[in-house]
Amino acid sequence: MMFPRLYLARNLLCDNGVLVASIGEHEVDNLKRLFIDVFGEENLNSISTRGDLRIEASASSNSPSPISKPGTPPRPKT
Cα separation, 37 vs 3, in Å, equals 9
Q: Is the overall model pTM greater than 0.85, yes or no?
A: no
> How many other CB atoms sit within 10 Å of the CB of residue 43?
21
Q: What are the structural domain ranges in the chain? A: 2-60
pLDDT of residue 74: 53
Look at residues 76, 60, 71 and name the one whose alpha carbon lies nearest to residue 15: 60
Q: In 3-state terms, what secondary structure has residue 68?
A: coil
pLDDT of residue 77: 57
What's the average model confidence in pLDDT over 38-60? 72
The answer to whether residue 63 scores a pLDDT higher than 60 is: no
